[in-house]
Structure 1
Amino acid sequence: MAGHILLAEDDKALSALMQDFFRAAGVAVTPAYDGEQALVLAQAQPFDLLVLDVMMPHLNGLEVCEAVRQESDVPVIFVTALGQEGDTLAGFRAGADDYITKPFSFPVLVAKAQALMRRARGLRLGASELGYANILMDTASGTVTVDGNPVNLRPKEAKILELLLREQGRTVSRDLLIERVWGTDFDGDERMIDRHIASLRKALGTASQHIRAVYGKGYRLGGST
Structure 2
Amino acid sequence: MNTKAKILVVDDEERIRKLLNLYLNKEGYETQEVSDGISALDLMKIHDYDLVLLDIMLPGIDGIQIIKEIRKIKETPIIMISARGEENHRVEGFQAGADDYIVKPFSPREVMLRVGALLKRTKVNNHEPEIISYSELEIYPESRLVLAAGEPITLTPKEFELILYFVRNPERVFTREMLLKEVWRYDYFGDLRTVDTHVKRLREKLQKKSSQVAKMIVTVWGTGYKFSPIQGE
Bin of the TM-score, shorter chain as denominator length: 0.5 to 0.7
2:43 pairs with 1:41: yes
Query: Equivalents in 2 of 1:45, 1:124: separation in Å?
Result: 24
Match of 1:28 among 13, 26, 30: 30
Q: Which residue of 1 aligns with 2:215?
A: none
What percentage of aligned pairs have identical amino acids?
A: 30
Alignment of 1:97-136 (within 5 A): 97-122=99-124, 127=129
Alignment of 1:59-208 (within 5 A): 59-122=61-124, 127=129
Q: Which residue of 2 aligns with 1:17?
A: 19
Query: Equivalents in 2 of 1:31, 1:95: separation in Å?
Result: 21
Q: Which residue of 2 aligns with 1:56?
A: 58
CA displacement at 1:71 relative to structure 2: 1.0
Question: What is the TM-score of this pair, normalised by structure 1?
Answer: 0.55
CA displacement at 1:126 relative to structure 2: 8.8
CA displacement at 1:66 relative to structure 2: 0.8
CA displacement at 1:114 relative to structure 2: 1.2
Q: Which residue of 2 aligns with 1:137?
A: none
SS at match of 1:55: coil
Question: What is the TM-score of this pair, normalised by structure 2?
Answer: 0.53
Query: Equivalents in 2 of 1:123, 1:38: separation in Å?
Result: 29
Query: Equivalents in 1 of 2:100, 2:127: separation in Å?
Result: 22
SS at match of 1:79: strand
Query: Equivalents in 2 of 1:120, 1:12: separation in Å?
Result: 28
Q: Spell out, residue by residue over 1:203-225, the C-alpha distance to the aligned partner (whole angstroms, 9 max, x if none).
A: xxxxxxxxxxxxxxxxxxxxxxx
CA displacement at 1:2 relative to structure 2: 4.3
- Amino acid of the residue matched to residue 21 of structure 2? Q
How many residues align? The count is 131
CA displacement at 1:124 relative to structure 2: 9.4
Query: Equivalents in 2 of 1:116, 1:123: separation in Å?
Result: 13
SS at match of 1:122: coil
Query: Equivalents in 1 of 2:117, 2:107: separation in Å?
Result: 15
Q: Spell out, residue by residue over 1:168-188, the C-alpha distance to the aligned partner (whole angstroms, 9 max, x if none).
A: xxxxxxxxxxxxxxxxxxxxx
CA displacement at 1:13 relative to structure 2: 1.4
Query: Equivalents in 1 of 2:67, 2:126: separation in Å?
Result: 21
- In our comparison, the structure showing a higher alpha carbon Rg is 1
For structure 1, the residue ranges without an aligned partner over 5 or more in a row are 132-225
- Amino acid of the residue matched to residue 53 of structure 2? V
CA displacement at 1:68 relative to structure 2: 0.9
Query: Equivalents in 1 of 2:102, 2:50: separation in Å?
Result: 18
Q: Spell out, residue by residue over 1:12-31, the C-alpha distance to the aligned partner (whole angstroms, 9 max, x if none).
A: 11110110000001011110
CA displacement at 1:127 relative to structure 2: 3.1
CA displacement at 1:83 relative to structure 2: 0.6
Query: Equivalents in 1 of 2:41, 2:124: separation in Å?
Result: 25
SS at match of 2:69: helix
- Amino acid of the residue matched to residue 23 of structure 1? N
CA-based RMSD of the aligned residues comes to 2.4
SS at match of 2:19: helix
Query: Equivalents in 1 of 2:39, 2:120: separation in Å?
Result: 26
- Amino acid of the residue matched to residue 107 of structure 1? R
CA displacement at 1:92 relative to structure 2: 0.2
